[in-house]
Structure 1
């Protein structure tokens, strides 16, 4: 999650898109036909974040020692790496899947159930993949942009991926009792939000319209991920010459 939002900011800064266009471009209308509703959900998420999640995350970062936060993050990453392994294999990416599987085994055994990231020190880098990417590789179109309550930017395809991961690959499933599941989910959310505190502060500084800023960067980043960094060019966006504010069509 922290890597995603860092990319959101970085992509837009490099493209010089921290300004509001006079109106939505045809490309934006094409990928975001539900914009009025999405903006309402975005505003709701922002209110919850500023009122509850961000302050709790700030307190977590201020008062929990860094080694402890690092260990918690490593455990969650190790669980996510197991799901990434499955998605690599579902996409027929055998070598990355094998490497990620080796990473999970290494960190689980030598890293004390993932508390320590031994695999990175051994040269086994993280290669995250999610089910939304898998659906894209299988040929399922992205569909319209969609802001999910509490979960943030998505698309119809990625929303299906998120729902699948929440039901099959959530760390909360490690607990048998409901209270334990809620506690794990809450800790995961706070950990992720604490990692994003500095990045979201930068987003506030550079974006005049945070909604369109986030949407365009999210769609471009997801397209790049599905195509392993080499997305196809949508020539419809270049009919009258390249437009700096025209997002790539999600695939």
Structure 2
């Protein structure tokens, strides 16, 4: 399972899931899961402007002054530092086996891997697995709730938003580092800032996937929700969960097919009109 948060993650994790989202949405029923769409769109536009003006140029500059090897090492380091989030949530989900596997991975990479800058655990067939408190709440049966776009944080939901304070305050070593220090020029925040920059930089290569998207807001919304669904079910969501995410009941399929036929007919009529 994988979890990504924050505005810089929006173009990273969501783009990687977008092909699934697009492929699975040939028919688009009326959305019933975005009641705050009007406000969400405004926040999305604000986030996009901030990204284009500040975050994306910073990420491009970071890639310019670093080598691929250095970027890989920094990504490994931050993934290792954040492993307690995964371990703690594995335990909260009752998945002791994964919690032990994650602990072993962190110990190996912290020692043999020189503080996590290298990843010998993967070569030892202990692959990276990530989860968060949003997935824990889903495992506990908490409903997703409405989709939300937060300023600077990006896509989330009424349930998933709790991963920010819970994971951040209780399980994230970088947050604990900030809380226990008060350094000149806010230097205690620099590791978190560098972490976010590394995430945004990793998304630059994937930006071409969104070229030509008519409505990026819908694209990111649907991709986010589908990614969270697959995360919560460890990559194997049941059909009823997929239908529920799309707002589709079994008896609605014939109605949706008819809507699709009418839409295609109207498009053909428009194309054939002078």
CA RMSD in angstroms, aligned pairs only: 2.4
Summarize the alignment of residues 1-251 of structure 1 with structure 2, pairs less than 5 Å apart.
1=4, 4-15=13-24, 25-26=29-30, 28=31, 30-168=32-170, 169=172, 171-175=174-178, 176-177=181-182, 179-203=186-210, 205-232=211-238, 233=240, 234=243, 237=248, 238-241=250-253
Partner Cα separation in structure 2 for residue 140 and residue 103 of structure 1 = 30
**Cα-to-partner distance string for 1:62-85 (whole Å, 9 max, x where unaligned):** 221222211111111002222101
Task: Answer yes or no: is the 8 Å Cα contact 2:14–2:227 preserved in 1.
Answer: no
Task: Answer yes or no: is the 8 Å Cα contact 2:142–2:159 preserved in 1.
Answer: yes
2:262 alignment counterpart: none
Give the TM-score, by structure 1 length. 0.86
Task: Answer yes or no: is the 8 Å Cα contact 1:76–1:171 preserved in 2.
Answer: no
Question: SS where residue 44 of structure 1 aligns?
Answer: helix
Structure with the greater alpha carbon radius of gyration:
2
Task: Answer yes or no: is the 8 Å Cα contact 1:81–1:126 preserved in 2.
Answer: no
Moved over 4 A (4+): 242-245
Give the TM-score, by structure 2 length. 0.79
Unaligned runs of 5+ in 1: 246-251
Q: CA deviation at 1:181?
A: 2.8
**Cα-to-partner distance string for 1:49-102 (whole Å, 9 max, x where unaligned):** 011100110111122122221111111100222210111111111111111110
Partner Cα separation in structure 2 for residue 212 and residue 193 of structure 1 = 20
Q: CA deviation at 1:200?
A: 2.5
Unaligned runs of 5+ in 2: 260-274
Partner Cα separation in structure 2 for residue 161 and residue 14 of structure 1 = 28
Q: CA deviation at 1:165?
A: 1.9
Between 1:223-232 and 1:172-181, the stretch displaced more is 172-181
